[in-house]
Each structure stands twice: as structure tokens, then as C-alpha cells.
Structure 1
Amino acid sequence: MTTPAEMLPRQRLHPLSPVLKSVRTLVLVIAAVSWRGLQNLGPGRYALVLLGLLVLVLLYSAVAWRFTGYEVVGRELRIHEGVLFRRTRAVPLERLQAIEVVQPVLARLAGLAELKLDVAGAGKAEAPLAFLPLAEADVLRTRLLALATRTLAPTDETAPAEPEPSAARPEQPDLYRVDNNDVTVSQFLTPPVMFTPLAILYIVGQLAFNSDFGVFAVASMVTAVAGTIGAPVMRILNFWNFRIGRAADERLRIRHGLLETRSQVVAPQRIQSLTVTWPLLWRGKGWLRITLAVAGQSSVGADGQQSRAETDRLLPVATVDTARALVPLALPGLDITALPLSPVPHRARWLAPLRRRVLAAGLTEHAFATVDGLMTRQLTVVPYARIQSVRVTEGPWQRRLGLATVYVDVAGATPAAAAHRPLAEAFAWADELTTRARAARAEV
């Protein structure tokens, strides 16, 4: 039986949504036309083409907005959309992993926000609702997350009603804020940026000594250099004012962004794995970064490239001491500096002569942990309750040396791999991991 608390009549998006979507589409069109289109069309025709495209996109967006809406029926969020072909998408709320509130620059000026739903089994954000008033977006997120975590048992009509979002306890203050100076320095300590001055010198040299080096050639090379610089700049803007706290319902709350602000609420039990990374150029400062894998949430775009938003961060840059203090917010009881990890045997030097001293793995009280990476070192931790399957593989050279690799598969993330373990140990670990995973899921 569906209770009134589980019903939300069909709602429309904000009337300014078509305008904001049209501007965003126009920016993409300008990027696609690029310098070559301006050269072929000339400034006047180029402006007319863009104006015509903007009008067409605006008209189409307005018609699409007329038929777009959403409603909550029981434990489903239903999205209605389509112009020529109408369709309704139903999102089961029990599959919700996290909901992100995003405010692009223009939306912030209008007091609007976009809801992005991370759903288990989806490769990208599902059913984005763009745009809603910010207060309405926050209330809707709270309501959807409350419904997502409710028991699947039939509703007891005599049970006390669930409190409305407005009656929820006030949010706790932020627990930690990342220093913006550290964010800036860390994002420029990357190999592409370090070599950018050489590219600039090359452009200057071509202008000085090559008379055939035209304006559009210079513009193309400047665009390429700007693209190299642009990636860390976008990350700086994305991670600006990065702060971590607790939401009113004890979930993990992560907020960040300068131009485009993002607010995300993640339940610790939804986290599939945690990865601590020590980039080579950061080690001199003792810095690391921490990423979370949440089923349905991905910072990889449809083209397989890393998304510029990079919404998987728990900490974009931090020291070990800070990481030790904050990692338990995501995985309670985990101390990244006190993990019982064992190295690979000496004979693994024939398969990994340089990495042998780095490779390590072990079973902790609540999770499986592995370490790998020579230049960029990574610690991957998988809670037992999140393990989907365990595999043991042996390559031809591993069989000769009596070694094997243990893979632990999780939803929505790269498997954790313990490479080049002794064969008997690998199979013993596989059995133990399967047993602990089954017990952990039963507890949950």
C-alpha cells in the first residue's frame, strides 16, 4: 500500500530550464565549430549561424519542457519526457546510491540547481532533473534518500509517520575544509603542466623564426596548450572550497566548486571501495588523494575519458594524518597506516622486478586491501560486504613460479587485485574472502 508520504504529484521543472539548457548547448556548438568554422564563414555569417542555432535550440527546449515532469509513486521516481516520442523512465529508489545537487554558473545566478541521481548498475548519472529551485532540489533529495533507505517490508498503518524533510535535525558543521592553496599547487604538480613552458617556448620560436607560421596555426597550438592547462584549472575550480561534513541523517556530505558548485550526500554503506593514491610529484610534500567508488556513480564519461567534474573524491589533496582522521567517515574502523599487509614472495621478482618491493595485500578485520604502483602508488580497500565475486587467475609464467593473482570484484569499480601471491595463499584467501563477504552481507 502506498502511503501519502510516498506520493508526490507530477511536477514540472522551473520555467527557466529551457533557457539555461539552450545556453549550455550553444557553448558546445561554439566549441564544435571552433577556429575552422570562423575562418570559413567569416565573423558575420558565423554570428548569424550561432544565433539561428540558438533560436532553434531554445524553441525545441521550450517544447520539451512543456512535456517534461517528474513524480514519486511508491518507491519509484518517474521521469516524463519527450517531444515527438514520449517516454517515462522509472527509477527504483532502493537502487539509489547517492544524489548530487549541482549548480552551474548561470543556474546559481537564477537560484536554480540540477539533481543527478547515482543508481546502482548505471554507467552514468541517471535521470538528471534540470533545473529546480535550490530549496526544492534540497527537499526533493532529502525525500528521495529517505524513501530509498526505508525497509522493503509492507507499511504498517499504525506505525508513526515519517517526519517531513523540514522537520529533520539541522545539519552538522563541516568537519574538514581542504586548503585552496594546496588544491592549486597539487593540480599543477602534474607532468603535462610541468612541460607546458617548453610548448610555449616552441610557439614563440615558431613566431620568431618561421615566417610561414600563420595566425590559425598559432591559434590551434595555443588552443592545444590551453587544453593542457585547462584540465588542472578545471580541477582547481571543481575542488575549490572542498569540505566534508555529516548530513542530518548521518550520511557523508561532500561540497565543492567555485563556478559550478556540487553538493553530494553518500551513505557509507553504499561505498564499494576506497582508493588512496600517492602521485610521484606529490610525495615530496607528503600529499595523497582519496577516491570513492559508489555503485552507479562514475567520473568517466561516455567516451571513456575522465570527466572534468570528477565527483568521486573524498579528499582531493591531503596529508596522511588528515586521511587517517577522515577515512573512518567512509569506512568505519579503517586506519590506512596500520593495515596488516604482507609482501609478495622473493620469486615474484621474475615477473615484477621493479614493483616487487611495492606489491602487498592482506585481509583486515572489515576489508580486503591491496597496494600496487611504482611511480604512482595506490592502496585499494574493499569492504567485505561490498564484494561481488572473487577470482584466482594463473598466467603461464605464474604457474611455473607457483604464483597466482586474486581479483576481488565490486559493483561499479575496477577489481582490486593482489598480484603474484603464493598459490596456496591465493586459494586460501579466495575461500576466506567468500566466507567473510557472505557473513558481512548477512549482518547488513
Structure 2
Amino acid sequence: MEPGVPPGTVWSAGAPEGAEPRQRLHPLSPALHGAKSLVVVIAGLSWSTLSRVGFGWFALMAVVLALGATVLAVVSWYYTGYHVVGRELRVHEGLLWRRTRAIPLERLQAVEVVRPLLAQLTGLAELRLEVVGGGKTEAPLAYLSVAEATALRQRLLALAGRIAVEPGAPPAGVAAGPAGTPAPPPGRPLHAVANNDLLVSQLLTPQAFMIPFGVAFVVAQFLSEDSWSFVAVASTLTAMAGVLLQPVRRVLDDWNFRLARDEGTLRIRNGLLETRAQTVPLDRVQAVGVTWPLLWRVKGWLRLRLEVAGYSAGEADERNRPDRLLPVGDVATGEAIVTEVLPGVRLAALPLSPPPTRARWLNPLSRGVLGAGLDDRVFAVRSGLLTRQLALVPYARIQSVRVVQGPAQRRLRLATVHADTAGGAGAAARDRDVAEAWALAAELTARSRAARRAG
């Protein structure tokens, strides 16, 4: 081995002369993948299998399957590598069927450092890449040391032109310090969500209000049974856990939520069992969504979310999308953060007008809530009866404008105006007068063209 070459280096046959060597993932990666497989295997075998075969055979089956998964993980790790060639990140993997993924860095939108619980315990991290037009998160590198993941992330973003190289930053593969922990996020701090507010916000959800009914059901079930079997207890608790899963996941995902801003990016850190460090380029923000859940309005709280180009809305795990802007906060905090993302936009001063009175036949309860209007910088749409929602779409981000009429709308001379964005959702002004809808569509088209020329 040549001096100065990291121990996980693999020289790639046929690589261009002078190209950097291929790097392997961390040697503990197979162990972490094997531990994850063990959890999946135990969950897949189910409680009914345990009751049929007994604990001894159940444990043996789980161990054999987990060992097999670990062996496959070791083989996969041995034949997996990555390196940067020019302006491409190349990921090599596969034993029988070799596969090389070349990711052009020009299409790279963001690189996230994610640390699941097992990775935190072992000092490792996972690198996830988001690419324009990707159907899902591309080329996750699991796992690297925290220092290597942080340095590689900075290097890829710099090559993609998303950030400037920070003076004194170590190159990929060089440790940032003896503790192996990433440096604090750069940028100007904008807001830190209080964990107490996060907990209270999730208690003010329909799922939390169902807890007493769930407990009453469990007690009634146990009292009506002659005996309490292990399978019955486990099945009931599993059902209750399913009800509580969403609010619990939100608390774990948004714990210690911190928001900061660089010159052209948002820096987001959050998570308890799985920590995440995300960078969102402001020029990729397609829309901002504001939500006022029914029970939160008592506290005067709202939630902010982003629509970002380059992130697939079809991700199986919604946590892979960096759409969190403010998990919970008051109106003043929401106003301040919206102004940082969309300069000059004030939530309290949006010129929203309701649809015509005849729209009440299609929206008998929510007609007074619906609203749409053209601000100087954004197209604003309000909707929702129990959960109020507001969508803000900058004119420069509008990709197309559509006027849609259903059968009932045609009879009532109404139409819906859709402003589509690259992120997918956009905004829709529902049940406007037909003449107003066509005038609104024309004005949106003209303003979006003017905004793109000015940008």
C-alpha cells in the first residue's frame, strides 16, 4: 500500500490515470446492516409464529436469518466503493451483477448527514444525496465516520456549486477532530423550537385524544377474557402503538429542531434517535405552506413546510424530504421565518378574496374559509375548514397555469385555477367565477414570465 493512502482504499481497474482511488464504507457497516436486519426479521416473524413454534425455535430462526443477512452485508460491503471522478460521484456495488452509478454533481441539490440510533452509538453516519429529477434518495452511503461524512458532504456541495469551500476545512476522509463530531452548523441562527412546545403540540392531536378510548378498550378486553394470553396482550399493545406512531415519530424527528441561514441556504438540524443535518438551497424552494391545526389555534400556533425542487414527493419515507421549516411556533415566529424565505411577504397582509356566493353549493361549510389573491411577490391560496392551510407560491417558481372545470362547476359558472411548480403540489384557487379564473390565470402567466426574466 502506498504511503498516505487510507486503509479502506481500493484501486479501481480501468480508472483514468491520476483519478483518486475508490473508497470503501466503514468496516462496521455490515454489523449495523445485520442489526437492522435482525429487527426486521423479528418483526416479520410476528407474534403468531412465536406462539406456534415456541421461544427457542423462534430465537434460532431469528439468529439464522440475521446471520445470513450479515454475511450478505459483508459481501456487499466488500464490493461497494465510491470515489469522485471529475464532476461525478461514482458508486460501485454488486458481486455477480456489477453496477456503477454515476451521479453528475451539476444535478445535485443537497447532501444530508443522517445518524440513526445505531450509527450514533458507533460514531457513524449515513450520507444521502438528493438529485434533480430523482425518484428517491440517490446513492445512500451507509455508513461512514462522522468526520468523513461531513467532509465528503462539504466537498460534494462545493463541487456542485451549492456552497463555498470553507477555509481550513479538511478534505474527504480526514478526521475533523478526535471526538469525530461535526462542527456546529454555520450561518445565522433563525429559530430553535422548544421541546416542551413540541410535546404539547403533539398532545393536541386527534391521536392523543384517542388514548383514553384505547386504554378503555384494552381494559374491557382483558376483563371479558377468561385468561390473558401473551399473544393477546402483544397484539393489543401493537394496535395501540400504531395509533400513537405518528405523533411519537414527529416528536422524535423534530426534537431539538434548529434553523439557521447562510447567504443562500437554510441549515436545518433535528432529531433525537435519528439526527439529521440538512442544507436547503433557497433558490430551490418552490412554495411555502402554512398550517393551523384545529386544536393548535387555541394556543395560536402554526406549522411551516417547504416545497423543494429536486426532492421526490413519492418517497416512501416522508422524513427523507427536507420539507420542515417550523414544526410548531407562534404567529410572530412564523411571520419572521416566512420573511427570511420569501422576502417582503407578510402573512397578515395578504390580499385574499373569497369565491363568489354561489360557491357555497359546492362548499357549504368552508366557503368562507376559501380565499386567493395576488401579492406583489407570491400567489397566495387559503383552504381548509378544521385544519386551515395557506399556500404561498413565488411567481418565478410557477411552471404552468391551468384552469379546470368539473360538471358541477360548469353549471354554477365556476372554475379552479392551478399554479403548478417543479416540486409538484403548487397551489389551487378553488371555485372562482369563470371570468375571474381566466383573468387570474392570465395574470399569473404574465407575472411568472416577468419574475423569471427579472431573476
Asked if Structure 1 and Structure 2 have the same fold, meaning a TM-score greater than 0.5 normalized by the shorter chain, the answer is yes
Residues 1:334 and 1:139: Cα distance change in structure 2 (over 3 Å): farther
Partners of 1:350 and 1:372 in 2: how far apart? 16
Q: Secondary structure of the equivalent of 2:415?
A: strand
Q: Could you tell me which of 232, 251, 263 is aligned with 2:247?
A: 232
Render the CA deviation track for 1:191-249: whole Å, top value 9, x for unaligned: 122112112111111211332664422321111001212321121111110010124x6
Counterpart-to-counterpart distance in 1, 2:207 and 2:400: 37
Alignment correspondent of 2:174: none
1:253-268 equivalence runs, <5 A: 253-268=267-282
The equivalent of 1:166 in structure 2 is 169
Matches within 5 A, 1:308-323: 311-323=322-334
d(CA) in 2 for partners of 1:290, 1:144:
28
**Equivalent residues in 2 for 1:30-429 (5 A)?**
30-149=42-161, 166=169, 171-172=186-187, 174-211=189-226, 214-247=229-262, 250-298=264-312, 301-302=315-316, 307=318, 311-429=322-440
CA drift of 1:391 comes to 0.6
CA drift of 1:179 comes to: 0.6
Q: Aligned pairs, how many?
A: 427
Letter in 1 for 2:405: E
3-state SS in 1 of match to 2:345: coil
Q: What's the CA shift for 1:372?
A: 0.5
Unaligned runs of 5+ in 1: 152-160
Aligned residue in 2 for 1:158: none
Asked if residue 438 in structure 1 is aligned to residue 426 in structure 2, the reply is: no
Name whichever of 177-186 and 33-42 sits farther off.
33-42
Amino acid at match of 2:219: V
Residue 100 (structure 1) shift: 1.4
CA contact (8 A) 2:306 2:322 kept: no
Aligned pair partner of 2:36 in 14, 24, 28: 24
Query: Which blocks of at least 5 consecutive residues in structure 2 are unaligned?
Result: 1-15, 172-182
Q: CA deviation at 1:43?
A: 0.8
Deviation at 1:28, TM superposition (A): 1.4
Q: Is the 8 A contact 2:33 2:73 kept in 1?
A: yes
Instruction: Give CA-to-partner distance per residue, 1:144-187, whole Å, 9 cap, x none.
Output: 22222379xxxxxxxxx976671899823533110100101111
Q: Shift of residue 323 of structure 1?
A: 0.5
Alignment root-mean-square deviation, CA: 2.5
Instruction: Give, in whole Å, the separation in 1 of the partners of 2:139 and 2:453.
Output: 31
- The 3 A distance-change label for structure 1 pair 108 and 43 is same
Distance 1:316 1:46, change over 3 A: same
Comparing 414-423 and 306-315, the one that deviates more: 306-315
State the distance in 1 between where 2:151 and 2:107 align. 19
Aligned partner letter, 2:299: K
Structure 1 residues 288-322: Cα deviation after superposition (integer angstroms, max 9, x where no partner)? 111111123357643xxx64667421111111100
Distance 1:382 1:65 in 2: 44
Q: 416-425 vs 261-270, which deviates more?
A: 416-425
SS at 1:337 equivalent: helix
Distance 2:29 2:452 in 1: 42
- The answer on whether the counterparts of 1:268 and 1:331 sit within 8 Å (CA) in structure 2 is no
1:442, 1:162 → 2: CA distance?
30
**Corresponding residue number in structure 1 for 2:175:** none
Residues 257 and 78 of structure 1: is their aligned pair in 2 closer, same or farther, counting only changes over 3 Å? same
Amino acid at match of 1:437: S
Aligned-partner Cα distance in 2 for 1:369–1:200 = 43
Cα distance, 1:400 vs structure 2:
2.4
Give SS of 2:429's match.
Answer: strand
User: Would you say the 8 A contact 1:97–1:294 is kept in 2?
Assistant: no
Query: In 2 relative to 1, CA 386–178 (structure 1 residues): closer, same or farther, beyond 3 Å?
Result: same
Asked if the contact 1:207/1:213 (under 8 Å) is kept, the reply is yes
Q: Supply the AA of the counterpart residue of 1:371.
A: R
SS at match of 2:348: coil
1:11 matches 2:26: no
Identity value in percent: 56
CA distance 1:34–1:309, change in 2 (3 Å): farther
Cα pair distance change 1:145/1:329, threshold 3 Å: farther
Tell me the SS of whatever aligns to 1:166: coil
